[in-house]
Amino acid sequence: MKITIVMGFFLPVPPVAGGAAEKSWHRLALEFARHGHDVTLVSRSWPGWPDREAKDGVTYFRIPGFAHTKKLWRNLVLDFIWSLRVCFRLPPADITVVNAVALPCWLGWLRPGVGRVVVMPGRMPKGQFRAYNHVARVMATSTPVLAAILAESPRWAASARVYGYPVNVPAFSGPRIATDEITVGFIGRLHREKGLDLLVDALVLLASRELPPWRVLFCGPVDVARGGSGPEYRDALAARLAGALPSGRVTFAPAEFDETALARRYREIDLFCYPSLAAQGETFGVAAVEAMAAGAVPVVSDLMCFRDFVRPGINGERFDHTRADAPAVLADILAGLIANPARRASLATQAGIDAQAYDFPVYANRLLKDFQSLVSPLDRGAASP
């Protein structure tokens, strides 16, 4: 197949300037090429980089874009301009995957030669699915994202699927980092919406119980510019824990942006607690899957996105974060896991197995089978919504 992948307007590929979507689709592009497919990856041009080059089986096509701004409306305008620039410069293809907001409104209609159009929204939809046309597949990252898409426009029910999100499983799996204490950890943005106040309340309750030795690890960005709630918020959490736990049993580590260093942090953790309260902000739960791959037991809030892969009593635990006594419920779950090493081991083993479903080669194979079905002779005559 000829597969084109269109990225957004503000970052290049290969992803030397960051970007989760850019990193993921670049890895997927390399996997598609490894299977013998003709892959073109369209992204923003970058100083010192050629407008077109071929490497590792992927053709990189770079078009002038724009810097990201802090204003949503400005970004939407820039996305519209980018979509116009890209539309008539795309090569003929069987499949074109679009990671831009405006482009799917007209691409399949104006440029049928680009093949079947596939869309993967990175966040909760903002109304764009009411305007989309001639889209063959909608890749929802989770059940709540799918529900939000169908709430905007039920006509996508036949073409939308839940895919999750790819994770570099081998990078996170590996030998555990052994310690004398059981580690309860959180990795992610240190923001209030992640439920960290609830987690600290539970840990304070846990500190009064007779349990095997345990410690706490928080790791992630603190500054507001990087998605945290600020140093004052982190300091307040630390002060509350300091009043309940002995010195040396609580660590607030800086964010790790190097994948190898991040994997080492994950492999320190025995119980990965992710009590997010952000029902509209969590679109999958990559951190929880990364922790599962690293051998940790996930303990998560009962958001719909986590229900897609955390199975209570089988590969982890979920708790009702909306209850008035949620901290006590979470403390009970953590206490039971800390006190029962056999149960921890069983859940962690199954968690590691289940994480494999999101590994890049497995995920890419699943996509390729779906893409092939979209361009099969029987499907070519089917009308898209």
User: What pLDDT, in 10s, does the model give residues 166-181?
Assistant: 999 999 998 888 788 9
The pLDDT score that the predictor gives to residue 382 is: 41
DSSP state of 254: P
Comparing CA positions, the residue from 291, 298, 264, 370 lying closest to residue 28 is 370
The pLDDT score that the predictor gives to residue 72 is: 86
The pLDDT score that the predictor gives to residue 380 is: 44
3.40.50.2000, 3.50.50.60, 3.40.50.150, 3.40.50.1000: CATH of 169-358: 3.40.50.2000
Cα 106 to Cα 84: distance, rounded to the nearest angstrom: 10
User: Which two structure tokens, joined as six digits, stand for 1?
Assistant: 């197949």
Percent of the chain that is helix, strand, coil (3-state, to 5): 40, 20, 40
Cα 28 to Cα 42: distance, rounded to the nearest angstrom: 14
Cα 47 to Cα 78: distance, rounded to the nearest angstrom: 19
Regions of the chain with pLDDT less than 50: 378-383
* Cβ pair 308, 283 in contact under 8 A: no
The pLDDT score that the predictor gives to residue 383 is: 40
Residue 339 CB neighbours (<10 A): 15
Comparing CA positions, the residue from 368, 369, 311, 356 lying closest to residue 164 is 356
Separation of CA 291 from chain center:
12
Domain range list for the chain = 2-166+360-380, 169-358
Cα 160 to Cα 64: distance, rounded to the nearest angstrom: 31
- 2-166+360-380 against 169-358: fold identical: yes
Q: Which long-range contacts (CB under 8 A, 24 or more apart) does 254-259 make?
A: 254/219, 254/222, 255/219, 255/220, 255/221, 255/222, 255/226, 256/219, 259/168, 259/171
Helices 341-355, 326-338: crossing angle, 10 deg rounding: 100
Helices 286-293, 259-266: crossing angle, 10 deg rounding: 70
Cα 67 to Cα 140: distance, rounded to the nearest angstrom: 26
Report domain 2-166+360-380's class. alpha beta
The pLDDT score that the predictor gives to residue 31 is: 97
Q: Which uninterrupted H or E stretch holds 231? A: helix 231-242
The pLDDT score that the predictor gives to residue 70 is: 80
* φ, ψ for residue 98, nearest 5 deg: -115, 125
Q: Which residue has the tokens 């037991």?
A: 297
The pLDDT score that the predictor gives to residue 384 is: 52
CB-based contacts of 36, cutoff 8 Å, min separation 6: none
Q: Is 261 left (phi over 0), alpha (psi -120 to 50) or beta?
A: alpha
Q: Is 262 helix (H, G, I), strand (E, B) or coil?
A: helix
The pLDDT score that the predictor gives to residue 381 is: 41
The pLDDT score that the predictor gives to residue 281 is: 82
β pairing state of 52-55 and 58-63:
antiparallel
The pLDDT score that the predictor gives to residue 287 is: 95
Please spell the DSSP secondary structure of 105-171, one letter per residue: GTHHHH-GGG-EEEE--SSS--SGGGT--S--EEEESSHHHHHHHHHH-GGGTTTEEE----B-HHH
* Cβ pair 356, 167 in contact under 8 A: no
CB-based contacts of 78, cutoff 8 Å, min separation 6: 9, 10, 65, 66, 69
- Per-residue pLDDT tens for 198-255? 999 999 999 999 999 999 999 999 999 888 999 999 999 999 999 999 888 999 999 9
Torsion angle of the four alpha carbons 41, 225, 276, 362, in this order, in degrees rounded to the nearest 10: 20
